[in-house]
């Protein structure tokens, strides 16, 4: 944890070393996009794992409902993945069409 904090301090020092504010905003946008995508991928992976585990457990308890559970699982996985894709879109906007740079 201390290494990450030190890394953020170093990135902050590099960002504040520039004269203009636009490059500072770009530097922080890159950091925010990386952290946001990492957290979204982590959350999506955990959610998908829980969904698959619950589907497998449900199918093991009642094999007759396996097809219905699989259909519901695929819908849930699509919704979980959509959240990660939304984060990717926001990160790309922050990187390439940053609204905070004048």
**Pairwise CA distance, residues 63 & 93, whole Å:** 45
What pLDDT score does 73 carry? 95
What pLDDT score does 80 carry? 93
What pLDDT score does 102 carry? 62
Domain boundaries, the chain: 2-96
| Residues in contact with 99: Cβ distance below 8 Å, sequence separation at least 6, in sequence order | 93
**Class in CATH terms, 2-96:** mainly alpha
Q: Which residue intervals of the chain are DSSP H helices?
A: 2-16, 21-61, 66-96
Q: Tens digit of pLDDT per residue, the chain (102 long)?
A: 777 777 777 776 666 666 666 777 787 788 888 888 999 999 999 999 999 999 999 999 999 999 999 999 999 999 999 999 999 998 888 888 877 776
| Residues in contact with 3: Cβ distance below 8 Å, sequence separation at least 6, in sequence order | none
Place of tokens 């922050």: 94
Q: What are phi and psi of 97, to 5 degrees?
A: -125, 55
Predicted TM-score of the model (pTM):
0.71
């Amino acid at each position: 944890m201390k290494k990450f904090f030190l890394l953020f301090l170093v990135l902050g020092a590099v960002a504040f070393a520039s004269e203009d504010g636009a490059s500072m905003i770009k530097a922080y946008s890159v950091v925010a996009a990386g952290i946001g995508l990492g957290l979204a991928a982590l959350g999506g992976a955990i959610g998908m794992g829980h969904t698959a585990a619950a589907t497998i457990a449900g199918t093991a308890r009642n094999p007759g409902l396996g097809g219905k559970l699989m259909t519901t699982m695929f819908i849930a996985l699509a919704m979980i993945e959509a959240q990660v894709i939304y984060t990717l879109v926001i990160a790309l906007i922050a990187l390439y069409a940053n609204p905070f740079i004048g």
